[in-house]
Amino acid sequence: MKRILFSLSLLILSITSCKKDDSEAAVISPVIGLWEITQTATTHELGHYGPYDPPVREIDSRQTVIIDHQNEFSTLDVSSSSLIWTDVDSLPKTYNWAYENMLFTLTDSDTTLEYHVTELTSQTFVFFIKDFRTYNDSTDFVAYEEFEYVYHLDKVNN
C-alpha cells in the first residue's frame, strides 16, 4: 500500500512539473517565428519644460510619418535564443533576445535595446521604442527632443 501511494505521488509530481514547463513555453512561443515589418510609424516631438514648479512638459511641435511596407519587408527571424533582424538592402544583425513584463529586449555585443510591447498574438506583434534627450536652449527653459519608433509586424506562415 505504501508503494502504491508513493508511486502515485511521484506520478502526480511529474505531471504537475510538466504542466509548469508547458506554461513557460506558452509565454515565449508567440514570439518565435519569422515576422515581416509591415508598417513603421516615426513620431518626432520637440518641446520644452515650462518655468513652473514642478516643470511642465510643453509640446512645441509634433510630426508623425507612417510608412506602409507594401512589397519589400524587413524581417525578424526569431528562434528560441537569437533574433536576426534583416533590413531591406542591408546586412542582417543578430541579437540575443528576451521577452518579459511587456518588454522585448534585444542585446548584441555593445547595445541593448528595450522595446515596449503593445500587442502580441500568434499573428501580430506591435512594439515601440523612444529616444528622449534634453538640452539647454537659448532661453531659460530646458528643451527636449523625442523620437518614437513603432513597428507593426505580421507573422509569415510557413
Stretch (H or E) spanning 4 = helix 2-28
pLDDT of residue 16: 54
Please report where in the chains the cell 517565428 appears, as a residue.
Answer: 33
Distance CA 83, CA 97 (A): 7
Query: pLDDT value at position 72?
Result: 83
- Tens of pLDDT, residue by residue over 131-151, are 999 887 777 778 899 999 999
Q: Selecting from 1.10.287, 2.40.128, 3.30.1340, 3.40.50, what CATH number does the domain 31-155 have?
A: 2.40.128
**Which value, to the nearest 10 degrees, does the dihedral of the CA atoms of residues 110, 76, 99, 44 take?**
70
Q: What are the beta bridge partners of residue 61?
A: 46
Distance of CA 40 to the CA centre of its chain: 13
Q: Where are the domains of the chain?
A: 1-28, 31-155
pLDDT < 70 regions, the chain: 1-29, 158
